[in-house]
Chains A and B, each alone.
Chain A
Amino acid sequence: QKEVEQDPGPLSVPEGAIVSLNCTYSNSAFQYFMWYRQYSRKGPELLMYTYSSGNKEDGRFTAQVDKSSKYISLFIRDSQPSDSATYLCATSGAGSYQLTFGKGTKLSVIP
């Protein structure tokens, strides 16, 4: 079992839809959770950085962590064609410098 599982998609939604992206993880020592956006042939861009369980909102993006079920989510409201990219979830343990990534979900937002 991989430490972080993420459905690779692809996921295609119409413009304006609410998008839900999800990951599960197996290591209960993970305490930090991140979401990155990666456009084709570019480096990952940090979208959200959260600690432990709960929600964090930033503009149209909401990150949600449920440590009891080892489940992390990213919601995108009012999705735009410019949101079309691969979304990567990542985790790390307390005091750890190593990020463990999922495979990424490819999202297409259709105008």
Chain B
Amino acid sequence: ETGVTQSPTHLIKTRGQQVTLRCSSQSGHNTVSWYQQALGQGPQFIFQYYREEENGRGNFPPRFSGLQFPNYSSELNVNALELDDSALYLCASSGRDRSNEQFFGPGTRLTVL
């Protein structure tokens, strides 16, 4: 069974730039959720994708957007990067019948300078 994978591992960007983060879900899972984890904090829900549609969204501005592909992999896009966007971005996958039983990937650490 293949777990959740994310790429890249680390990323450094400057303020105002755009970034794309990628996630492959665990085999057998069709739902992907994205979270932002600032240093010393718990993860904060950004949004979830199911059947290539956004299925729910947390308190994040529209410059955070995503995609899900037919193979259930997903992308998180962040436009107009701000310094406060520096964080660990986590992807989690789950099956539709238990969408809150989520398994996380290793994360992408984004630094915005």
List chain A positions with a Cβ less than 8 A from chain B.
4, 6, 8, 32, 34, 36, 41-46, 49, 88, 90, 92, 96-104
Contacts and interface: CB of A to CB of B under 8 A. Distances in A.
B42 A103 contact: yes
A34 B94 CA distance: 14
Interface residues of B, number: 28
A97 B99 contact: yes
A27 B102 CA distance: 20
A100 B45 contact: yes
A17 to B, nearest CB: 25
B28 to A, nearest CB: 15
Contacts, number: 63
A60 to B, nearest CB: 21
Contact of B58 (A8, A34, A98): A98
B104 A44 contact: yes
B86 to A, nearest CB: 15
Interface of B: 4, 6, 31, 33, 35, 40-45, 48, 55-56, 58, 90, 92, 94, 99-107, 109
A100 B59 CA distance: 12
B43 A98 contact: no
Given A8-B40, A43-B90, A98 B106 contact: no
Nearest to A45: B104
A38 to B, nearest CB: 9
B56 A102 contact: no
Q: Sort A-B residue pairs by CB-CB distance and give the 5 closest, nearest first.
A: A101-B42, A43-B104, A92-B100, A97-B99, A43-B106
A90 B31 CA distance: 18
Contacts of B35: 99
B78 to A, nearest CB: 19
B8 to A, nearest CB: 14
Nearest to B91: A43
B107 A103 contact: no
A51 B30 CA distance: 22
Nearest to B101: A49
